[in-house]
Chain A
Amino acid sequence: MIATIALVVFVTVTVGVYLSLSRDLFRVVLGLAMFGSAANLVLFAAGRLGRTAPAVVTVGETALADTANPLPQALVLTAIVIGFALVCFALVLMLRLIRDARTDDALALRDAEPLPTDPVKPPATDQAFEPVVGADPGREVAR
């Protein structure tokens, strides 16, 4: 079973990352979702897969007998919920971009970081940050 999961993980990680390397933001977000699924599978499989009975104690018993490992299940369960929130957050960001920047092309987003070929701007001079104040609070005038 591990080998099967490993094959599934190989395909989903590859495709997930490949989609995330796209310039299309929707593909990036869905690639992220797929990569998240793959990560959950890895986490789950790391707790071993041999036994497949649900981790529920039979009525009348006091201990688990020969069931699947409950710990990774608990971890994966919360990871799925948080992953959903993460993907939704990414979608919201994408929608804002479509609405405000009118693009969903990652290569068209150039406001924050210019291309290496763009000229390097000199650092801002002090005057640029000069605040406009009503009255000079300092009374130390040397001249």
Chain B
Amino acid sequence: MNPRLVILDVVARPLYVVILLASLVVLLRGHNEPGGGFIAGLVAVSASVLWALAHGPAAAEARLPFRSPLILSAVGVALGAIAGLPALLLGDAFLTHLWGAIPLGFTEIEVSTVLVFDVGVYLCVWGALAGYALSLLEADLEAPAKDSPEARR
């Protein structure tokens, strides 16, 4: 990984943005067309892997939301759980979804707890699988030297 490819270095930034945007599209259209949180999350993981190949796993991790794969995936799980709470207030079962629209005069924005849930899935999958991928990419297999602080620990 260390001998970086110049071309990868150059195209990494635009590609990263494009792939993430694509993942958002996949996420948003998922309810009606093939796609959804899981697939979008995996697409986003591939963006992170691309960045790791270009600039190193640590840099890829720093570019993640919250700068930590674990926190990112935990936020995803939390969003998923939060999406189930409004139903409880209305006396329905946990995770019974609600739909609504916010009128803006000329058009209206459709909102639903389903979307919140799917975003949670997206963030969790992105965080967790990027966490695995980046860890594996970052693995240092040389055994620690005998006198390094790590060996003594």
Answer yes or no: A and B touching, Cβ < 8 Å. Answer: yes
Q: Chain A residues in contact with chain B, CB under 8 A? A: 54, 56, 77-78, 81, 84-85, 88-89, 91-92, 95, 98-100, 102
Q: Which residues of B contact A99 (CB under 8 A)?
A: 139-143
A85-B128, A92-B135, A99-B141 known; 15 new pairs, CB 8 Å cut-off, are: A56-B32, A56-B33, A81-B38, A84-B129, A84-B132, A88-B129, A88-B136, A92-B136, A95-B136, A95-B141, A98-B141, A99-B140, A99-B142, A99-B143, A100-B143
Contact of B34 with A by CB under 8 A: yes
6 smallest CB-CB distances across A and B, nearest first, come from: A88-B132, A95-B139, A99-B141, A98-B141, A99-B143, A77-B38
Asked if A81 and B143 sit within 8 Å, CB to CB, the answer is no
Q: Which residues of B contact A91 (CB under 8 A)?
A: 136
Asked if B34 and A56 sit within 8 Å, CB to CB, the answer is yes
A92 and B38 CA atoms in complex are apart in Å by 23
Q: Chain B residues in contact with chain A, CB under 8 A? A: 32-34, 38, 42, 125, 128-129, 132-133, 135-136, 139-143
A88 to B, closest residue via Cβ: B132
What is the minimal beta-carbon distance from A16 to any residue of chain B, in angstroms? 21
- Interface of chain A, main secondary structure: helix
Interchain CB contact (< 8 A) of B42 among A81, A98, A100: A81
A72 and B77 CA atoms in complex are apart in Å by 23
Q: Which residues of B contact A81 (CB under 8 A)?
A: 38, 42, 125, 129
What is the minimal beta-carbon distance from B105 to any residue of chain A, in angstroms? 27
Q: Which residues of A contact B143 (CB under 8 A)?
A: 99-100, 102
A28 and B140 CA atoms in complex are apart in Å by 21
A42 and B143 CA atoms in complex are apart in Å by 41
Asked if A85 and B141 sit within 8 Å, CB to CB, the answer is no
A78 and B129 CA atoms in complex are apart in Å by 13
What is the minimal beta-carbon distance from B33 to any residue of chain A, in angstroms? 7
What is the minimal beta-carbon distance from B99 to any residue of chain A, in angstroms? 16
Q: Which residues of B contact A85 (CB under 8 A)?
A: 128-129, 132
A77 and B141 CA atoms in complex are apart in Å by 33
Q: Which residues of A contact B32 (CB under 8 A)?
A: 56
Q: Which residues of A contact B133 (CB under 8 A)?
A: 88
A81 and B37 CA atoms in complex are apart in Å by 12
Known: A98-B141, A99-B143. A78 touches B38 (CB 8 A): yes
